[in-house]
Amino acid sequence: TQLLEQSPQFLSIQEGENLTVYCNSSSVFSSLQWYRQEPGEGPVLLVTVVTGGEVKKLKRLTFQFGDARKDSSLHITAAQPGDTGLYLCAGMDSNYQLIWGAGTKLIIKP
Amino acid sequence: DAGITQSPRHKVTETGTPVTLRCHQTENHRYMYWYRQDPGHGLRLIHYSYGVKDTDKGEVSDGYSVSRSKTEDFLLTLESATSSQTSVYFCAISVQGRVGETQYFGPGTRLLVL
């Protein structure tokens, strides 16, 4: 069974701080996605990374795919209360199935 | 918003009763998925469909069945609900894009089995 481990599971920080969320696996993925989910709603795609070593930026969010395509990170600069939510990573395996991490619950306090 | 609705949005039922959840999409996407989401487990795939009458099992399919008689509707049935099936259920469709597949999710159904 392929696993995607996310860490930390929970993070509560003050507005303005920086943070990094990690997504790790022993398996290689053809692509990796990050989703954000707000309470009472379904996850919404933030970004897809495809190439080993790829870095994508979405305003204050920076996503990186590991060189070996087994891990990824999400870095948020100067976090804001609007960044609060559940962040999920999902890797596409060789059977074209999405393997999901358990999520990181992020709370940004004003 | 990919035009995905789920019904009901909330349901309370008793152990042993059958329950059917409905997912409806308006854009004729071929692939549809049912997930459950529980704390500490993320999203786990129950069943998926790749066309009318074409379905397959996911990671946690025991106790669940699905049907897809029309492109737009994907039904999930709990044949005899158990307390372990208390969860939030999400339906999703997938869209192939320039950088690969994107899944779009419905708003979820919160199910409580007493």
Closest CA to B26 of B52, B51, B1, B3: B3
For testing contact with chain B, the best of A30, A38, A47, A48 (most B CBs within 10 A): A48
Residue B35: exposure state from Cβ atoms within 10 A (0-12, 13-18, ≥19) = buried
Q: What share of chain B is helix, strand, coil (3-state, %, to 5)?
A: 5, 60, 35
Query: Which residues in chain B touch residue A6, judged by CB atoms under 8 angstroms apart?
Result: 42
Q: State residue B1's pLDDT score.
A: 56
Q: Are A60 and A15 spatial neighbours (Cβ–Cβ below 8 Å)?
A: no
Residue A101: exposure state from Cβ atoms within 10 A (0-12, 13-18, ≥19) = buried
Q: Output the CA–CA distances (angstroms, integers) from residue B50 to A28, A60, B100, B102, in the order listed.
A: 25, 37, 17, 15
Contact A102 B41 (CB under 8 A): yes
Q: Are A109 and A60 spatial neighbours (Cβ–Cβ below 8 Å)?
A: no
Helices (H) and strands (E) in chain A, counts: 0, 11
pLDDT in tens, chain A (110 residues): 568 999 999 999 999 999 999 999 999 999 999 999 998 899 999 999 999 999 999 999 999 999 999 999 999 999 999 999 999 999 988 877 888 999 999 999 99
Q: State residue A1's pLDDT score.
A: 58
Which string of DSSP letters, residue by residue, matches A47-67?
Answer: EEE-STT-EEEETTEEEEE-T
Closest CA to B24 of B40, B3, B10, B8: B3
Q: Considering CB atoms only, which of A6, A31, A103 is closest to B100?
A: A31
d(CA A98, CA A27): 13
Closest CA to A71 of A18, A32, A19: A32
Q: Considering CB atoms only, which of B40, B42, B101 is closest to A100?
A: B42
Structure tokens at A33: 């996605």
Distance of CA B104 to the CA centre of its chain: 12
Q: State residue B15's pLDDT score.
A: 97
Q: State residue B26's pLDDT score.
A: 93
* Residue found by looking up tokens 């080993």 in the block: A52
Which residue type sits at B79? E
Q: Are B88 and B36 spatial neighbours (Cβ–Cβ below 8 Å)?
A: yes
Q: Are A82 and A107 spatial neighbours (Cβ–Cβ below 8 Å)?
A: no
Query: Which residues in chain B touch residue A88, judged by CB atoms under 8 angstroms apart?
Result: 42-43
For chains A and B, CB pairs below 8 A equal 52
Give pLDDT < 70 ranges for chain B: 1-2, 98-99
